[in-house]
Amino acid sequence: MSVTEVAVLGAGPYGLAVASALGSAGVEHRVIGHPMSFWREMPKGMLLRSNWTATSIADYRGPVSLDAYLQASGQRFGRPVPLERFIEYGEWVQQQVAPDVDRRTVASVDRAGDGFELQLDDGDRLRAGRVVIAAGIAPFARRPAAFSGLPSELATHASEHRDLSRFAGKRVVVVGGGQSALESAALLHESGADVEVLVRKDHLVWLHGGKYHRMLGRYATLVYAPTDVGPMGLSRIVAVPDLFRRLPRSVQQPAAQRAIRPAGAEWLIDRLRDVPIRLSWPVQHAEQVGDQVRVVAAGGDSRVADHVIYGTGYQVDIARYPFLAPDLLRDIRRRNGYPLLQPGLESSVPRLHFVGAPASWSFGPIMRFVSGSWYASRAVRDAATRRPSRASADRVSGATA
């Protein structure tokens, strides 16, 4: 049985960011997972909604930033960043910070004395004094009850498709009004599908962040943090998780909802000009009709299609992580599926940390985005080395470290 000081479960942006921070601090660790695996399953042709700085892993000014990658690789690509280029960037980061990443799958995590024991898919075991869960959001795909009885041949979540060209010539209904649904609709249309979008609300929200940045010029940084989460002003607050988590829950909840409300990037508007978008169209139920599916609205209106794709986001529930042992899961204090975390993103089980979207209940909406890895990685490092975290908060907010 091998032993490590810190086991990092996951090799996406958060796992790699944690590895970078631990490595720079001299903390012995092992990263387990398939690099950028979740991103590899996203539809080809997607573009990242985040701005340039917020697309960096671990830090937007450091040795594994997006700018550093361009300089080292000689690559050049535009903005918004294409998904394929971001995956290549993530692979480069992995080579810098976790060249010996363990690509096996963790079958289970349980306590063992003062630490933890991990069992891998080949039966091998690993002892770790500390565990960081950076396993992403794939298990949390929100599947509306209206589609629960339909086979996958007729209804799927937007995250289940890598190549949308398979729907060329097909009639496809997309449900949702956020980035995932709207970009999926654009890609479907561009792939030759007959697509229609059904939106529950009576309006769409378009993000015009670049417009306001241009208007404000050099003063934009006063109201927009480089993390690029949230509207003007609120962006600065959610960029400092140590501040956000101290706000009353009555303030946190609406602020978080405002920062991550369903919205589409402005560059999608032209691409959707020829795609019908039906507003105030809440789906009540769906049923199979032969080899097609009929979607029915609350008012009785209906649509028949060859396939339904629901871009309905994700709902965190760490009980869906298949590797958490039942006894360990039971001892993790939770609220609505989220672990309740302390400084260092540490759960109620000592030395067990959660980063990424599961940390958003305790540390704010920034944890749902790549730029949240800047804070999370340093917070975990500080917990592992018992360092104060104020410098981390300053760095994330864009202040001089």
Question: Locate tokens 């490595």: which residue?
Answer: 23
- pLDDT grade for 298, boundaries at 50, 70 and 90: confident
Is 70 exceeded by the pLDDT of residue 104?
yes
Query: How confident is the model over 227-248, as pLDDT tens digits?
Result: 989 888 899 999 999 999 999 9
Query: How confident is the model over 171-220, as pLDDT tens digits?
Result: 999 999 999 999 999 999 999 999 999 999 999 999 876 666 677 777 77
CATH number of the domain at 145-204+262-310, out of 3.50.50.60, 1.20.1560.10, 3.60.10.10, 3.40.50.720? 3.50.50.60
Is pTM, for the whole model, over 0.85? yes
> Rounded to whole angstroms, how far apart are CA atoms 290 and 301?
19
Is 60 exceeded by the pLDDT of residue 389?
no
Select the more confidently predicted residue: 209 or 272: 272
CATH T-level fold of 2-140+316-397: FAD/NAD(P)-binding domain (3.50.50)
Q: So what's the pLDDT on residue 138?
A: 94
> Rounded to whole angstroms, how far apart are CA atoms 345 and 355?
7
- pLDDT grade for 355, boundaries at 50, 70 and 90: very high
> Rounded to whole angstroms, how far apart are CA atoms 189 and 168?
8
Mean predicted confidence (pLDDT) in 125-152: 94
How many residues make up the chain in this entry?
A: 401
Is 60 exceeded by the pLDDT of residue 288?
yes
87 within 8 A of 35, measured Cβ to Cβ: no
Give Dmax over CA atoms of the chain in angstroms: 62
Is 80 exceeded by the pLDDT of residue 401?
no
- Give the chain's radius of gyration (CA, Å): 21
- pLDDT grade for 400, boundaries at 50, 70 and 90: very low
375 within 8 A of 241, measured Cβ to Cβ: yes
Is 80 exceeded by the pLDDT of residue 390?
no
List Cβ neighbours of 167 (8 Å cut-off, separation of 6 or more): 188, 191, 192, 193, 306, 307
Residue type, 232: M
What does the mean pLDDT of the chain come to? 92
Q: So what's the pLDDT on residue 396?
A: 46
3-state DSSP percent of the chain in helix, strand and coil, to 5: 40, 20, 40
Domain with CATH 3.50.50.60 in the chain: 2-140+316-397, 145-204+262-310
- pLDDT grade for 224, boundaries at 50, 70 and 90: confident
Show the tokens assigned to 154.
């007729």
Share above pLDDT 70 across residues of the chain, in percent, rounded to a whole number = 95
Lowest-confidence segment of 193-197, 287-291, 322-326, 388-392 by average pLDDT: 388-392
Question: Locate tokens 């749902």: which residue?
Answer: 368
Q: So what's the pLDDT on residue 213?
A: 65
